[in-house]
Chain A
Amino acid sequence: DAKTTQPPSMDCAEGRAANLPCNHSTISGNEYVYWYRQIHSQGPQYIIHGLKNNETNEMASLIITEDRKSSTLILPHATLRNTAVYYCIVRETSGSRLTFGEGTQLTVNP
């Protein structure tokens, strides 16, 4: 499995962009990068995923470096409701198994 490394915590001002980094230096060529978030006392929720190209949806943008060794999740205009733990995960190629690390606790401040 490719392991991921994330900072344990980050702060962001409401209305500003939140940029959450993730390192996955041992990722292999056909492994996807997935991002999930978990609001306190709820199950994790899928945000976005990508292979090598940048991706955008209604929730966030995902920027993957050209060498694929790192990525950044961008929440363009953070709100208080974006306060959550964000998990960066690399999916095994042998199946659907996803291994979660401890993620980044993002706190959006008013």
Chain B
Amino acid sequence: DVKVTQSSRYLVKRTGEKVFLECVQDMDHENMFWYRQDPGLGLRLIYFSYDVKMKEKGDIPEGYSVSREKKERFSLILESASTNQTSMYLCASSFRGEKLFFGSGTQLSVL
């Protein structure tokens, strides 16, 4: 089975801190995604990547950046965390245009 692993299940950070959320997949998938999920707003796409060193903005990229130096790892970076970035963050991967496999999520609280 495909495994998508997110580095932390819960994370608490302070306003202004630089935050790294890490995601690793073990199935050699080309595509990787970062979503955030908030009550009443569903899942919203932040960034995605089709290949190493390649990235595309999703629907809500403001305040975020990403890094994909290796195929199996896709990092989401909050350069200066703010309270409105408190959310559940979900990473996913897929082989080309096929189904997505999600990680368990990271619940980030910014105080």
- Residues of A whose CB lies within 8 Å of any CB of B are 34, 36, 41-46, 49, 87, 91, 95-103
Inter-subunit contact B50/A100 (CB<8 Å): no
Inter-subunit contact B31/A102 (CB<8 Å): no
> Contacts A44-B43, A101-B42, A102-B40; is A96 near B102 (CB within 8 Å)?
no
Chain A-chain B contacts (Cβ-Cβ < 8 Å), number: 54
Asked whether B62 is an interface residue with its Cβ less than 8 Å from the other chain, the reply is no
Task: Return the chain B residue nearest A46 by Cβ.
Answer: B99
How far is it, in angstroms, between the C-alpha of A42 and the C-alpha of B92 when the chains are bound? 12
How far is it, in angstroms, between the C-alpha of A80 and the C-alpha of B42 when the chains are bound? 23
Q: For residue B97, give the distance in angstroms from its CB to the closest CB of chain A.
A: 5
List 12 interface pairs A-B (beta carbons < 8 Å), by A numbering. A43-B90, A43-B105, A44-B90, A44-B102, A46-B99, A87-B42, A95-B50, A95-B97, A96-B100, A97-B33, A97-B48, A100-B35
Interface of A is mostly: loop
How far is it, in angstroms, between the C-alpha of A100 and the C-alpha of B93 when the chains are bound? 15
Within 8 A of A (CB), among B80-99: 90, 92, 94, 96-99
- Residues of B whose CB lies within 8 Å of any CB of A are 4, 31, 33, 35, 40-45, 48, 50, 56, 58-59, 90, 92, 94, 96-105
Inter-subunit contact B103/A43 (CB<8 Å): yes
**Which of B42, B44, B58, B92 is the one whose CB lies under 8 Å from A103?**
B42
Inter-subunit contact A99/B45 (CB<8 Å): yes
Inter-subunit contact B31/A96 (CB<8 Å): yes
Inter-subunit contact A44/B100 (CB<8 Å): yes
Instruction: Please name all residues of chain B whose beta carbon is closer than 8 Å to the beta carbon of A91 when the two chains form the complex.
Output: 97
> Contacts A95-B97, A96-B31, A96-B97; is A43 near B42 (CB within 8 Å)?
no
> Contacts A95-B50, A96-B31, A100-B35; is A46 near B100 (CB within 8 Å)?
yes
Task: Return the chain A residue nearest B4 by Cβ.
Answer: A43
Instruction: Please name all residues of chain A whose beta carbon is closer than 8 Å to the beta carbon of B45 when the two chains form the complex.
Output: 97-99
Task: Return the chain A residue nearest B102 by Cβ.
Answer: A43
Q: For residue B66, give the distance in angstroms from its CB to the closest CB of chain A.
A: 14
- Shortest beta-carbon contacts, A-B, top 3: A43-B102, A100-B43, A46-B99
